[in-house]
Structure 1
Amino acid sequence: MRSLAFAAVAATLTLSSAISAPPTSTVTIDKARIDRSLQDMVSSGRAAGASALVWKDGKEAYFGTAGYADREAKRPFSRDTLVQIFSMTKPVSGVAFMQLWEQGKFGLDDPLSMYLPEFANAKVFVGKDTAGNPILVAPRRPILIRDIVRHTAGFGYGPGPTYPEEAFAKADPLNLANDLPEFGRRLATVPLLYEPGTKWRYSAGVDVQALLVQKLSGQPYEEYVRQHIFEPLGMKETGWTQPESILPRLAAGYAKGPDGTLQRKSEADFRHMNFNPERKLTMGGAGLISSVDDFMRFARMLVNGGTLDGVRILKPSTVRMMATNELDARVTDRQWLPDKGNGGFGIDFAVRTGQPKDTQENRGAVGEFFWDGAWSTLFWVDPANKLTAVFFVQKDPFDRSLHRDIRRAIYGDDYLGPTGD
């Protein structure tokens, strides 16, 4: 444990130095270049519509749109278009969680079972016996709070080929008919995919954070986030539960069809997480609808070290900790995280720790922290350049080429940023 703590301190010092160091080249926002990038996404058939908003040095540096929010209705993507941001909900949940950490409600190295006893008897799947029965053993160490914020707990995130993933599908913890306590009870019955702390695997850990916020604060999770994040930041249009009146502003989702063209997703796809009176589950990991200006207020708070317009949401030291790589060097199995760029993972954020390794990697600066969503939305916070960007699109499945292109348009092909390795 001491070696992990030392590694975390060293990583924090490295990131702090990277953030304070001047970049080796400055970012010049080329509005025409970004316009062309957005237009190409639409003209190439990769997106029905998109928007991008960039703030730099404390002021708006770019806003632009291309294409349609609703192609069939010929409704253009505009500044007041609302989108479903899916996993971009996770950093919001991380901020809510770390507010309670600042209040001393828990420690990052506390066992999860101190607060959620249902996880005390977690078992790790290690294979099957000769009869085909699963072999489940007690973990070498308990799941720690730190594990649920960095996706190293051993949890799964849906169905799959392994026994734990089959058990996850059967338990169905993320069914929207479950409330958060029922989600936790069901997840606790699912065997772990691996020993806690040994691998990075995208998971339901952020939904466990939501359950903990609800339990430790004594407030329903959705109410807590609205009262402690959205209202203080003036994020008036962001939320899980949405009124029918906003539907005319909601962007349609589009999926790549068998012929390679974009096809409109069903009405049920648009409605089930936000306009469903039967929904009981407020997920920590997904479910928010937001506008580009609303979400930029969240990003600006982060680049400002936890404050926006005189309102403090987090301490600067807490934001730095969230933006520090938490993965031990021994955690080499990182699923698809390396596809995000040269870096690691902090507290509910991917973190860039080194310059792009090749020209195909996403542009960005060392010390940047970011996350994205299932329908290809993206935001990032770049402290070295005092820059934040929000990119909205509704394209399924996730399209990494859109992120590559918008980043190149904002940074330029030649930008490398400050050295971090």
Structure 2
Amino acid sequence: MNLPASAPIESLAALEPPAPTVLRDRVDDAIDRAIAERRLIGAVVLIARDGVPVYHRAAGLADRESDRLMREDAIFLLASVTKPFVAAAAMKLAEQGRIDLDAPVTQWLPRFRPRLADGTAPAISLRQLLSHTSGLSYRFGEAPGGDYDTLDISDGFDQPGLGIEENLRRIGEAQLRFPPGQGFKYSIGIDVLGEAIARATGTPLPKLIEELITAPLSLRDTGFHIADHRRTATPYTDGVAADGSRRPARMLDGATVPLFDTVLRYAPSRLENPASYPSGGAGMAGTAADVLTLLETLREGGGAILQRESVAAMMREQVPASIEGLDPGWGYGYGWAVLNDPLATNTPQSPGTIAWGGVYGHSWFVDPQRRLSVVALTNTAIEGMQGEFTIDLRDAVYAGLDAD
């Protein structure tokens, strides 16, 4: 990025060329419709092309009840937007020889030995945790009443004050869904990985991410804490009233949001409780500008944080799209999904595009072929992660770029 990550995002206007007219108008329309229809309360959308910002906007409200406007340097609870930061840190440690991704996690977490249905406890490697091929799951990925539910396993964005030792104990008592390396299931494994690399280095995970990722990139607003409460975006849960109108509700601890056949459980106050463990899969807070800086750094080859070979491995399909549990056309790399067949999923994105999101209402993607990065952080779950807005925004970006 041409702008230092620590600089106020408002200063972009003085440093960049005007946004292409069609791109600006189409993206504005996608955002405006989502807010007018009450699908979103507020959003920050940033777009970079060839490392240059070509669009930036804060829209709607950061806090509806106080009429506080959204600002471009707003701080959001990131949920799974945390994963690229932790994945990059794990790859850096592997580069440095401080961890071996193929070593069993028991090398650092000797008591973590979840079992298969037959009672055996197979070895789980750090690489399998990183690629979601460990056999673990998420509570929100399981039907209510199952073992993840009865064991009260935290997904990393609920249960303020829960420590990592207790959550590891709970996870370890749940049955593995398949032998490690023989399937794919999006899982709490990145939380396990985060604690393993912390113990491998003798450094708490928040400090490790700071040393390896955020400090080298000058990302002062992103970490396992809220850097400035005055800029925090209040989270909301997307909802439909009895009359069919949209009316997102202010999210409080204990809020639940339906997701397919299960529910997401939230506790926005989690980061305020110092006893909460630092969730490697969902525990960070930060700004859209910081997320964009990380993604652009990786798109350009790793910069100050990683070697090109490590970035190439992260962006390569480590889990093929043919594996059950992945959406059509998408495989999985390290920290995100990897697109291998745009036709299968009806997207204008190029093969090799990487993408993911976060359950507080976020989405992002990087299209290396088009030298394009898009970050959309919203305060409305889960519309901002996988609702109509994400499709409208994606299509507006490509239509705008192709028209200008």
Smaller-chain TM-score range?
A: 0.7 to 0.9
Which residue of 2 is the match for residue 253 of structure 1? 235
Aligned partners of 1:240 and 1:273 also within 8 Å: no
Residue 153 (structure 2) aligned to one of 172, 175, 182: 172
1:332 aligns with 2:323: yes
Which residue of 1 is the match for residue 364 of structure 2? 379
2:318 partner letter: E
Give the CA deviation at 1:258. Answer: 4.6
The 3-state SS of whatever aligns with 1:389 is strand
Question: RMSD of aligned C-alpha atoms?
Answer: 2.5
- Counterpart mapping for 1:335-350 below 5 A: 337-338=326-327, 342-350=329-337
Give the CA deviation at 1:261. Answer: 1.8
1:275 aligns with 2:272: yes
Give the CA deviation at 1:83. Answer: 1.3
- Counterpart mapping for 1:160-309 below 5 A: 160-161=142-143, 165-167=146-148, 169-170=150-151, 172=153, 175-242=159-226, 246-259=228-241, 260-268=245-253, 271-277=268-274, 279-307=275-303
1:308-347 Cα deviation digits (max 9, x unpaired): xxxx101111011011111157x6321xx30xx6220011
Aligned partners of 1:252 and 1:264 also within 8 Å: no
1:252-306 Cα deviation digits (max 9, x unpaired): 22223351522332454674222224x3300001122111212211112111111
1:80-100 Cα deviation digits (max 9, x unpaired): 222111111011110111111
Residue 149 (structure 1) aligned to one of 122, 130, 153: 130
1:314 aligns with 2:311: no
Extract unaligned runs of 5+ from structure 2.
Answer: 1-19, 254-265
Alpha-carbon separation, structure 1, partners of 2:139 and 2:115: 18
1:354 aligns with 2:341: yes
Query: What is the TM-score of this pair, normalised by structure 1?
Result: 0.79
Which residue of 1 is the match for residue 32 of structure 2? 39
Residue 404 (structure 1) aligned to one of 352, 367, 391: 391
1:395 aligns with 2:377: no
Alpha-carbon separation, structure 1, partners of 2:149 and 2:58: 40
Aligned partners of 2:148 and 2:171 also within 8 Å: no
Rg larger in structure: 1
Which residue of 1 is the match for residue 96 of structure 2? 103
Alpha-carbon separation, structure 1, partners of 2:329 and 2:30: 23
1:183 partner letter: N
Alpha-carbon separation, structure 1, partners of 2:167 and 2:200: 16
1:250 partner letter: T
- Alpha-carbon distance change, 199 to 29 in structure 1, aligned in 2, over 3 angstroms: farther
Alpha-carbon separation, structure 1, partners of 2:91 and 2:149: 27
Give the CA deviation at 1:161. Answer: 3.7
- Alpha-carbon distance change, 217 to 29 in structure 1, aligned in 2, over 3 angstroms: farther
Alpha-carbon separation, structure 2, partners of 1:99 and 1:182: 28
Give the CA deviation at 1:48. Answer: 1.3
1:122 aligns with 2:114: yes
Alpha-carbon separation, structure 2, partners of 1:157 and 1:30: 38
Alpha-carbon separation, structure 1, partners of 2:138 and 2:388: 24
Aligned partners of 2:75 and 2:285 also within 8 Å: yes
| Aligned residue pairs, count | 362
Alpha-carbon separation, structure 1, partners of 2:45 and 2:148: 40
Alpha-carbon separation, structure 2, partners of 1:95 and 1:383: 17
Aligned partners of 1:362 and 1:403 also within 8 Å: no
Identity level (%):
26
Alpha-carbon separation, structure 2, partners of 1:29 and 1:240: 38
- Alpha-carbon distance change, 102 to 64 in structure 1, aligned in 2, over 3 angstroms: same
Query: What is the TM-score of this pair, normalised by structure 2?
Result: 0.82
Give the CA deviation at 1:69. Answer: 1.6
Extract unaligned runs of 5+ from structure 1.
Answer: 1-26, 126-135, 416-421
Aligned partners of 2:34 and 2:389 also within 8 Å: yes
Alpha-carbon separation, structure 1, partners of 2:95 and 2:59: 41
1:83 aligns with 2:76: yes
- Counterpart mapping for 1:135-146 below 5 A: 136-138=118-120, 142-146=123-127
Alpha-carbon separation, structure 2, partners of 1:256 and 1:306: 36
The 3-state SS of whatever aligns with 2:26 is helix
Aligned partners of 1:51 and 1:393 also within 8 Å: yes
Aligned partners of 2:103 and 2:126 also within 8 Å: yes
Which residue of 2 is the match for residue 113 of structure 1? 106
